Amino acid sequence: MDDLIKKASQIYKNNFSNECYFERAVFLSWYCSKGDCKFCWMSTQKNRIRNPKLAIRRLESILAEVLICKLCNWKIEFLSGGYETYSLEELINIIKNINLIYKERLWLNIGVLNRQELLKLKPFIKGITGAVETINPRLHKELCPSKPLKEIEEMFKICDELKIKKSITIIIGLGETIEDFELLKRFIKKYKISRITYYALNPHKGTIFKKGPDTGYYIRWIANTRIAFPKIEIIAGSWHSRLDEIHLLLKAGANSITKFKSIKLFNTELAKNFENQVEKANRKFKSRLVDFPKFGLEDELRPFENELKTKIINKFNEYYKKKISKNEKTY
Ligand code: SF4
């Protein structure tokens, strides 16, 4: 194992700087018309799934979160949401508003899109994420009965024609084995994937899963990927109960880390531990999880008309006062 990590680490150093960021997925809604993937939290929320209106997020709430990401130098892993939540026009409007704050085009992860939708979204996004989840075909069929891999593959073919970048998400711990890495390798090559997000399965109450993968097994996937694809961007998810593995995920060749409750746990012992883990991997942490920067909301929100601006500020203050600044007494 040590040799594998050393090799992956060296390949990482040859191809990337030693900077490391925290990446936060921004959720546009908590609704999904599929709602039946067997590991997914959505599958345990039957009422929300029946009524999308209960799960749609207000624009000011999304924008306040994006503003926090920008101020804390968190990268936005992608804009995420379940299938069929918004009309295309609503979605484009949300993304345009987000871009006014974040000033960088972002990846989109909202299910399978058709050619027309991709074409219309292309000017506003960085690329498309396909939530592959598991590359093992038998498992995929069993665990994601309503979103066949074939549909993601068809979307990726259209992305190629339209010159849209592609990324994927993979969950480790669903029952796959390391032998399945060969399938993943073929998939990444075939669809010229430029970014991969790995998650260690975080079993949700009410699903069939009870346990996440061991760190040793999880990092083999990351190291194998780094060795096979020296230049691919790798984002690795951890969880607040698995923070001690973060330095290993980075040594195995991950560029950045995601899946930490960065607002709720801002400036806590856990956030401090996160930063220590990055340091332990000899990486320079460029994001902030412990000290909130000075900010000028008026400047950041200049492009917005007054009514929306006021709503964003109110929401921002709610997040800031209830979650972020309340933890300041921790130190
Ligand atoms: S499609 Fe995505 S959001 Fe919907 S149930 Fe499956 S994993 Fe969850």
pLDDT digits 0-9 by tens, 95-143: 999 999 999 999 999 999 999 999 999 999 999 999 999 999 999 999 9
For residue 40, the CA-to-ligand 1 centroid distance in Å is 6
Candidate from 32, 39, 46, 142 with most ligand 1 atoms within 8 A of CB, to mutate: 32
Token couple for 193: 């994937």
Q: Which atom of ligand 1 is nearest to the CA of 111?
A: 1
286: confidence class by pLDDT, cuts 50, 70, 90 = very high
50: confidence class by pLDDT, cuts 50, 70, 90 = low
Look at ligand 1, atom 6, and give the residue with the nearest C-alpha. 37
310 pLDDT above the threshold of 50: yes
Lowest mean pLDDT among 23-32, 44-53, 277-286: 44-53
Is any ligand 1 atom within 6 A of the Cβ of residue 130?
no
pLDDT at 301: 96
175 pLDDT above the threshold of 60: yes
Q: Which residues of 285-321 are buried (b: 16+ CB within 10 A; e: fewer)?
A: bebbbbebeeeebeebbeebeeeebebbbebbeebbe
Is any ligand 1 atom within 6 A of the Cβ of residue 98?
no
- SS3 category, 21: coil
331: confidence class by pLDDT, cuts 50, 70, 90 = very low
Domain ranges of the chain: 2-330
For residue 82, the CA-to-ligand 1 centroid distance in Å is 6
CB neighbour class for 186 (10 Å; exposed up to 12, middle 13-18, buried from 19): exposed
Specify the DSSP class assigned to residue 294: P
For residue 253, the CA-to-ligand 1 centroid distance in Å is 27
Strands 19-20 and 165-172: unpaired
Measure the CA–CA gap between 104 and 81, rounded to whole angstroms.
19
Is any ligand 1 atom within 6 A of the Cβ of residue 43?
yes
For residue 55, the CA-to-ligand 1 centroid distance in Å is 14
Is any ligand 1 atom within 6 A of the Cβ of residue 34?
yes
pLDDT at 328: 58
Lowest mean pLDDT among 56-60, 68-72, 228-232, 257-261: 56-60
pLDDT at 47: 64
Let me know if domain 2-330 sits in CATH 3.20.20.70.
yes
Share of the chain above pLDDT 90, in %: 85
Q: Which atom of ligand 1 is nearest to the CA of 131?
A: 2
Is any ligand 1 atom within 6 A of the Cβ of residue 112?
no
Share of the chain above pLDDT 70, in %: 96
pTM of the predicted model as reported, rounded to 2 decimal places: 0.95
For residue 138, the CA-to-ligand 1 centroid distance in Å is 18
Is any ligand 1 atom within 6 A of the Cβ of residue 42?
yes
49 pLDDT above the threshold of 70: no
Is any ligand 1 atom within 6 A of the Cβ of residue 83?
yes
Token couple for 249: 């995920």
For residue 28, the CA-to-ligand 1 centroid distance in Å is 14
Are 196 and 188 in contact by the 8 Å Cβ rule? The answer is yes
- At which residue do the structure tokens 């980075």 appear? 250
Lowest mean pLDDT among 139-143, 295-299, 307-311: 295-299
For residue 279, the CA-to-ligand 1 centroid distance in Å is 34
pLDDT in tens, 24-44: 999 998 888 888 999 998 888
- Mean of the per-residue pLDDT values of the chain: 94
For residue 37, the CA-to-ligand 1 centroid distance in Å is 6
Token couple for 15: 């191809």
pLDDT in tens, 206-259: 999 999 999 999 999 999 999 999 999 999 999 999 999 999 999 999 999 999
329 pLDDT above the threshold of 60: no
Q: Which atom of ligand 1 is nearest to the CA of 144?
A: 6
48 pLDDT above the threshold of 70: no
Concatenate the DSSP letters of all residues of 108-172 into one string.
EESS---HHHHHHHGGGEEEEEEEEE---HHHHHHH-TTS-HHHHHHHHHHHHHHT-EEEEEEEE
Please list the alpha-helical segments (H only) found in the chain: 2-15, 46-50, 59-71, 88-102, 115-121, 137-143, 149-162, 181-190, 215-228, 246-251, 269-280, 297-300, 306-319
Output the CA torsion sign for 144, 145, 148, 149: positive
Cα–Cα distances (Å) from 15 to 18, 75, 280, in that order, read 10, 20, 20
CB neighbour class for 38 (10 Å; exposed up to 12, middle 13-18, buried from 19): middle
Specify the DSSP class assigned to residue 39: T
